[in-house]
Chain A
């Protein structure tokens, strides 16, 4: 499809979608009315800049039904974010929404060389998380024999992989690295498995990690991107060139904006990625701010695809961290500390050891929490770690330190040291 063809299709879909949202989503209609924008004001694609943005806060405020644009009887499924930042985001799908989502995932599998002769092992989690259901549906659409493994139970993963001759592996990059190590431990060489490709996403990873995984499994590793708010994985995907992810532009309209001013930036600029879902019926988001910082490029791709390519996210425009695939905000950890009776003097250290993220939290102790026995201090550390785990869903290492030992800074406190950055990982 030519660039002009894509733009014409996008404009037609955008006009229809803005009308659909305006007519059915009171929350967004109010935002448009406040700005004095009507659906008929969208005459060219550039007119999208007239529309208000949506943020995760809007979705929380509208939880659970505020963004629903169709009658619940037309919906067949929900998926949800992990809910680690407070209220969950619940996304609704009509059957048509699911078809399109799965189609997007199918394109990712085809771009990785998948055909109906492949055996596709999906070890993303199944359930509310979009990873498992999305790739599962995509694999069906391609006609692969699908192994719906879900996550965990590495022994079983390896047994099915070897016995059924899996050729495509779908999971998080850190789990792929782990499977690679586990195969080696069991005495398998990379050529012993039948895998040829892996589709890995849901967490940041580096080129170096890609090469490690490719070597240890004897495959080519492809990146995939998506977010529950827009559908799930498959918003964009890598082709064999491995130089960025093609955005499924017939279904998603991407913009890059200045995160501070909201101004739309020209193609090729680095800024915050904003998505408009052009076809979603149940949960259509207009100008949703992803907080991911990246660059869009429209150079000719050797694979022949004309869809614009996005770089791997180079960072976040907010203070969210992605640790072991889970979204973490420092404010959540702070809330736990206050709740547990600690002063909000803390330092979060994130690192990656053996391809797995580590989270260390240093917290100042109060006088009353100090004990002369190691046992009591350790007990407090464990209790605090458990409380943080309950909030985030991942286990931190908690270290209690003496009062006034965590450096105070003028102005904005340094709360987070992300050592993964030195590894060149774009967080």
Chain B
């Protein structure tokens, strides 16, 4: 059920980000969502794209350091309080979130939220049980 995220290691040097974005452009894939974690030495660029294998191959050809990570995607209603509900469910079940980021769909009916947790299966089960809709790969491509 989990969706796949590209995780790219980016050193804090000039031009590294350009190499990444150029490779994705060459792969001809769309970026649906992204986030960057930054530390003093390095950053981790995280992307949800329409064709992950194609993007990964192109990135590797450009000598980028990349891996695929399974993350949980949830669809929340695009209205106040929806995210709070999801977070509350996770908190109540002692599930820690390592990081999260969101993107708004064109229809504006849902916002998609990407969550990175320790155990995807457990989180997905609990969220589903609480009536939260999970995002699938098809949702991403069909956005």
How far, in whole Å, are A374 and B64 apart by their CA atoms in the complex? 18
Q: Is the CB of A404 within 8 A of B63?
A: yes
Residues of B within 8 A of A378 (CB): 39
Among A109-117, A253-261, A365-373, which stretch is in contact with chain B? A365-373
| Contact bitstring B86-123, A, C-beta under 8 A = 1, else 0 | 00000000000011000000000000000010000000
B35 to chain A: closest CB distance in Å? 10
How many A residues have CB within 8 A of the partner chain?
17
Interface residues of B in 46-80 (CB under 8 A from A): 46, 63-65, 67, 69
Q: Is the CB of B41 within 8 A of A372?
A: no
Q: Is the CB of A372 within 8 A of B42?
A: no
B19 to chain A: closest CB distance in Å? 11
Contacts A365-B65, A402-B65, A404-B63 given: A374-B37 contact, CB under 8 Å? yes
Residues of A within 8 A of B42 (CB): 377, 399-401
Contacts A365-B9, A401-B11 given: A370-B67 contact, CB under 8 Å? yes
* Count of CB-CB pairs between chains A and B under 8 Å: 40
B44 within 8 A of A: yes
Contacts A401-B11, A402-B9, A402-B11 given: A373-B67 contact, CB under 8 Å? no
Which residue of B has the minimal Cβ distance to A362? B41
How far, in whole Å, are A365 and B9 apart by their CA atoms in the complex? 10
How far, in whole Å, are A372 and B42 apart by their CA atoms in the complex? 12
Question: Looking at the complex, which one of B7, B65, B69, B98 makes contact with A375 (CB distance below 8 Å)?
Answer: B98
Question: Looking at the complex, which one of A372, A399, A401, A403 makes contact with B44 (CB distance below 8 Å)?
Answer: A372
Q: Is the CB of A372 within 8 A of B39?
A: no
Residue with the greatest number of chain B CB neighbours at <10 A, chosen from A374, A399, A403: A374
Q: Is the CB of B67 within 8 A of A367?
A: yes
Residues of A within 8 A of B11 (CB): 401-402, 405
Contacts A365-B9, A378-B39, A401-B11 given: A370-B65 contact, CB under 8 Å? yes
11 contacts between A and B (CB under 8 A): A372-B44, A372-B46, A372-B67, A373-B99, A377-B42, A399-B42, A401-B41, A402-B9, A403-B65, A404-B63, A405-B11
